[in-house]
Amino acid sequence: MKIKQLIVVGGGLLLFTSLFFFGKTIPPKDKKTVTAPSEEGHTDAPINFSDLLIKAKARLTAQQSEKVVSLENMVVRGDIKEQQIHVFHQLAKFWRDSAKVFEPYAYYTAEAAKLENSEKSLTFAAQLFIDNLFDEGNHSMQAWLANNGKVLLEKALELNPNNDSSKIGLGACYILGNISDQPMQGILPVREIAEKNPKNLYAQWVLALGGKKSGQFDKAIERFSIIIEQEPTNLGAMLHLAECYDLKSDTANAIKWYKMVQSIIPNPEAKKELQNRIDMLSK
């Protein structure tokens, strides 16, 4: 289990708002071979929801399979929008509560939101994808999450063009989702919001993750530091900050921030993993 996962399991979630989630960047094992993350050259095949659904259904019991087939048939038969919305919500609830599989839950929540076409439902569904985008390391899955979030947020912004959170979320889709060859398309609106309101920590978070992902560690460090100034016990920002220092071979500061995280997180296994990294950097 990775350090960020251990922190979540150990109760670190109590220290976060819903907007702050861990990424999956793992500190390199050898401080002498630290390199910037690379987004070039990946050849992951695009993901279709039908493929995800097949895999999800393979995990179901016979009784669960009967339930989901029944609900899917209700969608096909439902010729009234309200009926389809109701069934999509039932499908989402099934996959969330009974099957406990994220992708179909998010997908059917999104389908219901598109039919409802309210800013509240669209932004709620979009945030499901974006929250998981923050934590996803697979390129194809990043693109699937980002594309779904993008569609929902574009619809939400048609209803309310002045919603900064929707603009930031859309920016995150471009910055972190590998869905465009022009990441500045996502960066500029988020940067504008951050410059207008430096205390908008959602904007700072997205820009910080974008900087880290692109290997601009100094810029990422600046953004994560702004977050920590406002949220001194934000473990996610602290751990990313430590990793940025680690990745740029600033050993002293990397150790400092790993120790800070270690001093706060109660999970013994997470403390052990952090100590292993500290010991490796101290050699």
The predicted-structure confidence for 227-246, as pLDDT tens digits, reads as follows 999 999 999 999 999 999 99
Q: What is the pTM of this model?
A: 0.81
**Residue 80's pLDDT is what?**
86
Q: How many whole angstroms from its chain centre is CA 132? A: 3
Give ranges for CATH 1.25.40.10 in the chain: 1-34+197-283, 60-186
**Residue 20's pLDDT is what?**
34
Tokens representing 67 are: 């339930």
Least confident of 10-19, 36-45, 139-148, 236-245: 10-19
Q: How many whole angstroms from its chain centre is CA 111? A: 20
* Residue 181 confidence class, pLDDT cut points 50, 70, 90: confident
**Residue 46's pLDDT is what?**
87
Q: What is the CATH architecture of 60-186?
A: Alpha Horseshoe (1.25)
Residue 23: is its pLDDT beyond 60? no
CATH class, range 1-34+197-283: mainly alpha
Residue 126: is its pLDDT beyond 80? yes
Burial of 135 (0-12, 13-18, 19+ CB in 10 A): middle
